[in-house]
Amino acid sequence: MGARAQSAMSWKMSQKPAWLRPHGAPWKRGAERVVYENPWIQVSHHEATAPTGRSAQYGLVSFKNLAIAVLPLHDDGTVTLVGQNRFPLADYTWELPEGGAPLGEDPLDGAKRELAEETGLHATTWRKVLDVQLSNSVTDERGVGYLALGLTDGATGHEGDDTEEIALARVPFAEALAAALAGHLQDALTVAMLLRVYHMAREGALPDALARVMLVSTAPVAGEPM
């Protein structure tokens, strides 16, 4: 095994180190009631006992879908991003193709659907590269991230739902990463996935030719909406 391949293996843990063990008592749940529900979330009020033994009240937002993010990485080292207006913060964001997969669905099927619907792209190679908890102090939402390679355009183009007006931009990976580090891309899954795949490129977990073109920051690629 070469030095580069050994480096790629160095960040993989075969077992958890001792410091990752839980400490203290867990939260204990008491009476609960649902205060709001729609097809996507449920908000519930809980009487609880904290790890310190103190009584507490807790509001929990439960999600009915698994959050999915896809990083579509083209052979020339560019990525396709999605631009759209978001309701909660009343802003416009550029982010990876994202969506939700029902909890009983294979997340990979959800990832393939979201990529096709939002970008019109299809991939021949899929790698699950990220598992995260999103805002775990108030929600139980979990997210997964997939790297999509071997991209081709579909016959129909992107198809958003009736509330989405989507723009697409294909930009150099290094430029997207720089935008995230500068705070111009703030979607959490987008930032996490860009950093994750950057780490993979640096550690030899991607084909050498692809890693080289990904990490080139000097060759501009037009980022105009597609």
What integer is the mean pLDDT of 196-214? 95
Predicted pLDDT of residue 217: 59
| C-alpha angle 123-224-213 in degrees, rounded to nearest 5 | 50
How far is the CA of 167 from the CAs of 93, 163, 223, in angstroms?
10, 13, 11
Tell me which architecture the domain covering 65-132+141-214 has in CATH.
Alpha-Beta Complex (3.90)
DSSP structural state of residue 88: T
From residue 116, how far is each of 70, 122, 138 by CA, in Å?
Answer: 11, 6, 31
Interval 149-196: pLDDT, tens: 999 997 655 566 778 789 999 999 999 999 999 999 999 999 999 999
Per-domain boundaries in the chain:
24-62, 65-132+141-214
93 contact partners, CB below 8 Å, separation of at least 6: 83, 84, 86, 185, 186, 187
What is the residue-averaged pLDDT of the chain? 89
pLDDT score recorded for residue 15 = 83
